[in-house]
A and B are shown apart, each in its own frame.
Chain A
Amino acid sequence: MKINVDRERCVGAGQCVLAAAGVFDQSREDGLVELLSAEPPQELHAAVTEAELICPSGAIEIQP
């Protein structure tokens, strides 16, 4: 699994951080998404998928 985030689309809603805190964070300056780990370990995949689904702006993209 490989994750891409598009900060230009992110609206800073923070849903991704709620779903998968170890993988996503929000930047201190603008609150937009920051990727902590682009290729997270297997045990986080379910949480990351949840984040992708719940992100309101479609800013998170997962390549299988």
Chain B
Amino acid sequence: MTGLNDIVVVGAGAAGATTAETLRRQGYDGRLTLLGAEPHLPYDRPPLSKQILTGHWEPDRIRLRAPEAYDRLGIDLRLGIPATRLDRTGRAVELADGSRLRADAVVVATGVRPRRLPGREGADRCGEPAGVYVLRTLDDALRLHAALAGGPRLVVAGAGLLGTEAAVAARRLGADVTLVCPARVPLLDLLGPHAAGLVAATHRGLGLRVRRDRVTAVTTARGAVTGVRLSDGSRLDADLVLVATGSVPCTDWLRGSGVSVEDGVVCDLLSAAGPGVWAAGDVANRPDPRTGRRGRWEHRTHAAEQAMAVARNLLAGTAARPFAPLPSFWTDQHDLKIQVFGDLAGTDRCHIAEGSPAEGRFTALYGAGDHVRGAVAVNMPRQAQRLRTLVETRAAWTDRPPQPTPLGAADT
């Protein structure tokens, strides 16, 4: 821990806030600054497309920590001021208000921003026609919630986790919703056939239309949205368009710093991105020791886990340890609560371990090459934890639990 007197964490989301808190809990007692571009206290993003978008929760409820917690932990929290430059040789971070912070170590936790439709990448929010929305921040969610009053026609471009959850929320608020999805079935790759099938049935039950296509452009008249154009040349009328077609890492401020950036901050197994620079959360592009593949993960649990690993490694010196998390995420789709562990991509076998898709509650294991690779649980959160170990240890396929047991009996 020697020689560290100033740590600056850039980005006050889940990863940034958890890094700062863990640094303190690990005994770091030097100066600690947490910088956030947004004006809000650090908050949790997953509820934005769920309880915040439907209006069931007040914004206060998603705060990660009480306001006084930062003072208590000795964290100098500076909100509403983005970092604009990293000066590695001068060991400093520059802020939009012209100030300069000394930094012996910098943690990059700036997350991602929504990708825009083709041709509009440069557009900031003010440059968009009225009626075009994205969903990443609390302000985005509140704006979209307000716009959904009165049953407008909404087109959701993109049917990943975010697009599908937002479509469900909008439908529950009474909007007329069309989900434009380039894939055969939304979320198939992420959730596997059984859970994706249940999700599709749930969407149908809610009266959500799914159109298999791709949005290529937004059509407007007098500065407001009138609809979207699809890749087959047809048009859909709409009052609102939600663009949910993926995200772009927030690394502009690192330009010229010498930090290697390629679809996020390129870091090593320790989550280091060069001397004195670390990265955590959605912005970090790292090698996965489990698969050897490199990439970014945009999952909430991962953000916290990597943040804790970064805080520990930053203080550990030569005792730093590789970060080897298990992929895991959850999604809520109306009355389905779905958890996924591991990676279902490329798996070639499936085994229902408990419950059944027909009952709307089940756990399933997915495997490849005679090993368990992934697990899915629908409305069985407690049972999901048991499967986790099988995925984590890459258990032999033959060691999987026996045939499906009746629900009551399995639930001990």
Contacts and interface: CB of A to CB of B under 8 A. Distances in A.
Nearest to A26: B382
Interface in B342-399: 380-382, 384-385, 388
A58 to B, nearest CB: 5
B304 A27 contact: no
B381 A14 contact: yes
Interface of B (DSSP majority class): helix
A15 B308 CA distance: 14
Contacts of A58: 44, 62-65
Contact of A15 (B63, B301, B411): B301
B330 A13 contact: yes
Contacts of B300: 56
Interface string A5-27: 00011011111011000000011
Contact of B61 (A9, A14, A49, A54): A9
A40 interface: no
B17 to A, nearest CB: 10
Interface string B9-42: 0000010001001100100000000000000000
B18 A53 contact: yes
Nearest to A29: B382
A53 B385 contact: no
A14 to B, nearest CB: 5
Contact of A11 (B63, B330, B384, B411): B330
B337 A31 contact: yes
Contacts of A14: 381-382, 384-385
A47 to B, nearest CB: 12
B395 to A, nearest CB: 17
Nearest to A8: B61
Contacts of B411: 28
Interface of B: 14, 18, 21-22, 25, 44, 46-47, 61-66, 300-301, 304-305, 308, 328, 330, 332, 337, 339, 380-382, 384-385, 388, 411
27 contacts: A9-B61, A11-B337, A12-B330, A12-B339, A12-B381, A12-B382, A14-B381, A14-B385, A15-B301, A18-B388, A26-B385, A31-B382, A49-B25, A53-B18, A53-B22, A54-B305, A54-B308, A56-B14, A56-B44, A56-B46, A56-B300, A57-B46, A57-B47, A58-B44, A58-B62, A58-B63, A58-B65
A28 B380 CA distance: 9
Contacts of A27: 382
Contact of A53 (B61, B304, B382): B304
A31 B381 contact: yes
A50 B46 CA distance: 21
B308 A13 contact: no
B330 A53 contact: no
Contacts of B384: 14, 31
Given A13-B330, A49-B25, A54 B304 contact: yes
Contacts of B381: 12-14, 26, 30-32
Contacts of A49: 25
Q: Which of A11, A27, A30, A32 has the most CB of B within 10 A?
A: A11
Contacts of B308: 50, 53-54
Nearest to B301: A56
B109 to A, nearest CB: 14
A58 B43 CA distance: 9
A12 B300 CA distance: 13
Task: Give 10 nearest A-B pairs by CB, closest first.
Answer: A31-B381, A12-B381, A26-B382, A56-B300, A14-B385, A31-B382, A58-B64, A54-B304, A56-B301, A58-B44
